[in-house]
C-alpha cells in the first residue's frame, strides 16, 4: 500500500504552496538519477513532455532538490541512485510506464491549449466549457494515434484509457475551482463527460466523408470539422465569419497529421512538437470583405472576465503570465502558479515580463 501511494503521487506538477506567503521549491528525482536507473535496469527513459524534464516529484515527501552535482560528488551511488529503489517504487513496471506516458501526453495537450493566441486573436471564450473543449480537442488528436493499431502498439488502448482518466481528474479540479458544492461535483463531471464524448464523436464523424476526388474530400472534411468547432468550441458564436473558424479547423487537421506521423522516440517520451496556433490576420467576412472587429484582444479578455464572474463563474487568471510560469489547480480546485524552470510555486499571480 505504501508503494502504491508513492507511485500515485508521481505527478507532473509540483505541490501547491504550503501557504499564500510561503514560496518553496519541490524536490524530485532529476534526469541524471533517472538516466542512471535506466541504464542499470536496461529500461527506457521515463516519458516526459517537452520543457518538463523534472516531472517526477515526490510531492509532500521532500523539499530538497537532488541535483547532478550532489550525485557526482557522491560517486553516482547512494540510496537515491539505487536500482533497488527504482524497483521498489515500481518506476519501470508496465503500468507505471503507461501512466507516465499518458501524463506526459496530457500535460503536452494542457500547455498547448493554454496558449494565449487561441483566446486573443482566436476569440475562443475563457469560460469553463470553451476552455475544456479546446483542451479536449488536443486530447482528441492524441487519442486518434492511440487507437490506431499501426502506431500505438499493444499498449495503445491502455494508454488511451489512462489519458482520459487523467483528463477527468483534471476536470474534477477545474469543476471544484468553479466554487460548486461538493455534493454536485460528480453530477457536473458526468455532464462534462457527456458533451466531451459527443464532441469527440462529432470530430470523428467529420473525418469520414468521401468525395469523388482527394481535393474534394479534404475540402468537405475541413468544412465539416469547422462546423463541429463552431458548435463545440466557439459555442455557436454568430459574430465570427466562416473563414475565422476554418482557420482553426486547418490547424487541427495539420496538428492531427503531425501527431499521427510523429517519430516513435518522441512519441514514447511524450514530446509532441505542437505547431503555433493559426494566424487570424486578414480574416475575410462572409460577404467577401475584410472582417473587422472593433474590440481589441485585451478588451475582449476584460469583457469575458466580467461576463464569467457576473454569471457566478471563476475566471482563470492565466493571461499574460511571465515567461516560464504556468497556472495549476490543486485537487480541491484552488489556483496556484508554478515556474517550470525553478519549480517555485506561489498562490499569487507572478508579475513581470
Q: Give the pLDDT score at 65.
A: 33
Consecutive H or E run containing 268: helix 264-268
pLDDT at 64 exceeding the cut of 60: no
Q: Give the pLDDT score at 84.
A: 59
Please report the DSSP string for 71-134 in residue order: HHHTTT-SGGG-HHHHHHHTTTSHHHHHHHHHHHHHHHHHHHHT-HHHHTTT----SHHHHHHH
Per-residue CA distances from 344 to 68, 111, 176 (Å):
19, 18, 24
CA 282, 135, 174, 104 dihedral sign is negative
Consecutive H or E run containing 252: helix 242-260
Highest mean predicted confidence (pLDDT) among 286-290, 304-308, 340-344: 286-290
Range name among 139-143, 155-159, 186-190 with the lowest pLDDT average: 155-159
By C-alpha distance, which of 256, 225, 230 is closest to 123? 230
Which residues on adjacent β-strands are paired with residue 152? none
Q: Give the pLDDT score at 320.
A: 74
- Check if the beta carbon of residue 32 is closer than 8 Å to that of residue 70: no
Burial label, 19 (beta-carbon count in 10 A; 0-12, 13-18, 19+): exposed
* pLDDT, mean of residues 101-123: 92
Burial label, 73 (beta-carbon count in 10 A; 0-12, 13-18, 19+): exposed
Q: Give CA–CA dist 179/107, Å, rounded.
A: 24
Q: Give the pLDDT score at 323.
A: 85
Consecutive H or E run containing 256: helix 242-260
> Which residues are CB-neighbours of 93 under 8 A, at least 6 positions away?
none
Which residues on adjacent β-strands are paired with residue 329? 335
Phi (first) and psi of residue 228, to 5 degrees: -65, -40
Q: Give the pLDDT score at 206.
A: 96
- Check if the beta carbon of residue 163 is closer than 8 Å to that of residue 142: yes
**What band does 148 get if pLDDT is binned at 50, 70 and 90?**
confident
Q: Give CA–CA dist 146/98, Å, rounded.
A: 12
pTM: 0.73
Neighbours of 353 (CB within 10 A): 5
* pLDDT, mean of residues 266-270: 89
* pLDDT, mean of residues 281-288: 92
pLDDT at 343 exceeding the cut of 70: yes
More confident residue, 348 or 32: 348
Assigned C-alpha cell, 91: 518506476
Q: Give CA–CA dist 244/201, Å, rounded.
A: 23
Q: Give the pLDDT score at 92.
A: 63
236-266 pLDDT, tens digit each = 999 999 999 999 999 999 999 999 999 988 9
**What band does 88 get if pLDDT is binned at 50, 70 and 90?**
low
Q: Give the pLDDT score at 329.
A: 84
Write the Ramachandran bin of 241: left for phi over 0, alpha for psi from -120 to 50, otherwise beta: beta
Q: Give the pLDDT score at 325.
A: 87
Average pLDDT, the chain: 77
Range name among 15-19, 42-46, 291-295 with the lowest pLDDT average: 42-46
pLDDT at 46 exceeding the cut of 50: no
Amino acid at each position: 500500500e505504501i508503494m502504491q501511494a508513492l507511485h500515485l503521487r508521481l505527478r507532473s506538477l509540483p505541490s501547491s504552496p504550503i501557504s499564500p506567503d510561503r514560496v518553496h521549491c519541490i524536490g524530485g528525482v532529476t534526469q541524471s538519477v533517472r538516466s542512471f536507473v535506466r541504464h542499470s535496469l536496461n529500461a527506457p527513459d521515463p516519458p516526459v513532455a517537452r520543457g518538463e524534464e523534472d516531472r517526477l516529484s515526490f510531492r509532500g515527501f521532500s523539499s530538497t532538490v537532488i541535483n547532478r552535482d550532489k550525485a557526482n560528488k557522491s560517486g553516482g551511488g547512494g540510496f537515491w541512485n539505487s536500482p533497488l529503489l527504482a524497483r521498489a517504487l515500481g518506476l519501470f513496471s508496465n503500468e507505471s510506464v503507461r501512466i507516465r506516458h499518458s501524463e506526459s501526453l496530457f500535460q503536452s495537450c494542457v500547455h498547448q491549449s493554454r496558449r494565449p493566441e487561441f483566446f486573443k486573436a482566436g476569440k475562443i471564450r475563457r469560460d469553463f466549457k470553451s476552455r475544456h473543449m479546446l483542451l479536449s480537442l488536443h486530447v482528441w488528436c492524441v487519442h486518434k494515434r492511440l487507437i490506431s493499431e499501426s502506431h500505438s502498439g499493444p499498449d495503445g488502448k491502455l494508454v488511451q484509457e489512462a489519458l482520459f482518466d487523467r483528463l477527468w481528474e483534471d476536470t474534477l479540479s477545474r469543476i471544484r475551482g468553479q466554487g460548486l458544492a461538493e455534493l454536485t461535483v460528480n453530477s457536473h463531471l458526468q455532464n462534462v463527460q457527456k458533451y466531451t464524448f459527443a464532441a469527440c464523436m462529432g470530430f470523428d464523424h467529420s473525418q469520414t466523408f468521401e468525395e469523388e476526388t482527394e481535393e474534394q474530400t479534404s475540402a468537405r472534411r475541413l468544412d465539416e470539422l469547422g462546423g463541429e468547432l463552431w458548435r463545440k468550441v466557439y459555442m455557436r458564436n454568430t459574430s465570427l465569419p466562416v473563414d475565422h473558424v476554418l482557420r482553426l479547423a486547418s490547424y487541427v487537421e495539420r496538428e492531427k497529421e503531425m501527431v499521427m506521423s510523429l517519430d516513435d522516440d518522441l512519441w514514447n517520451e511524450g514530446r509532441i512538437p505542437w505547431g503555433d496556433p493559426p494566424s487570424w490576420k486578414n480574416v475575410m467576412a462572409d460577404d467577401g470583405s475584410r472582417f473587422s472587429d472593433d474590440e481589441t484582444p485585451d478588451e475582449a479578455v476584460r469583457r469575458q472576465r466580467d461576463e464569467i464572474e457576473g454569471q457566478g463563474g471563476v475566471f482563470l487568471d492565466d493571461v499574460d503570465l511571465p515567461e516560464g510560469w504556468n497556472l495549476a489547480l490543486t485537487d480541491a480546485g484552488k489556483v496556484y502558479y508554478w515556474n517550470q524552470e525553478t519549480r517555485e510555486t506561489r498562490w499569487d499571480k507572478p508579475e513581470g515580463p
